[in-house]
Amino acid sequence: MAMTVDFRVYLITDRQKAPGGDMLRAVEGALDGGVSAVQLREKDLPGGDLYRLAERMRSLTARYGARLLVNDRVDVALAVGADGVHLGTKALPASAARGILGTAALIGCSTHDLRELRQAQDQGADFVTFGPVFPTPSKAAYGDPVGVAALFEACRKATIPVFALGGMGARNASQAINAGAHGIALISEIIAAADPRGTAAKLLARFGSTLAAGQAARETPKEGEP
């Protein structure tokens, strides 16, 4: 049985955005600030370099008790003992990755529309990212943002957790949660921050407040109800 998707903020790496190129420092700050799931996404690195970086990232995330997923590279995830993989639309199917990594692995999939979302679910993914919800340079190749209305529809039809992706941060996390997202996935807001720890801590605090407010609203009886 796969691990529970027990995180709400899903940090995606990009060493090009880290101040001074020091991605490990940025990730460690984020982990110290409370982030508990990291996707290692450095697509341009050769296999050997990615493996060595993944080894260091596995050691770092293990120290904080955080999840580590490797983007696309099932072999690297297996080699370093990562918690799972995150698969793009052109990667192995989730069912094939599951066959290699086993039932306990955590498998996420990138989705941009309802067809891809249904496909990921059918293949046995544990969660998906959906977007881009808002404008972001890292997802410009996918065209215009899908918007909050599309996110709402995806969350309504999903049977697995959905993470809003694309231009996400503290300023719009509440919009994603109110649309039904389980959490948010982001890069720049934390990785590019001068103070990754403080940024992560503030984001998680904002997130917790939004979730608590939503829960309270659902539990408050409407007028006329007992």
Name the burial class of residue 188, with classes exposed (0-12), middle (13-18) and buried (19+) by CB atoms within 10 angstroms of its CB: middle
The answer to whether residue 41 is catalytic is yes
- Residue from 8, 73, 110, 138 carrying the catalytic annotation: 110
Residues 6+ apart with CB under 8 A from 33: 196, 197, 198, 199, 200, 201, 203, 204
Phi, then psi, of 35 in degrees rounded to 5: -65, 140
Please indicate whether residue 157 is annotated as part of the active site: no
The catalytic position among 67, 73, 139, 197 is 139
69: nearest Cα among 111, 97, 89, 28: 97
DSSP 60-87: HHHHTT-EEEEES-HHHHHHHT-SEEEE
Neighbours of 62 (CB within 10 A): 12
Residue 138 annotated in active site: no
Q: Measured between alpha carbons, how far is 79 from 225 in angstroms, rounded to an integer?
A: 56
What 3-state class would DSSP assign to 139?
Answer: helix
Residue of 8, 15, 36, 41 with catalytic role: 41
Q: Rounded to an integer, what distance in angstroms lies between the CA atom of residue 109 and that of residue 107?
A: 7
Residues recognised as catalytic: 41, 110, 139
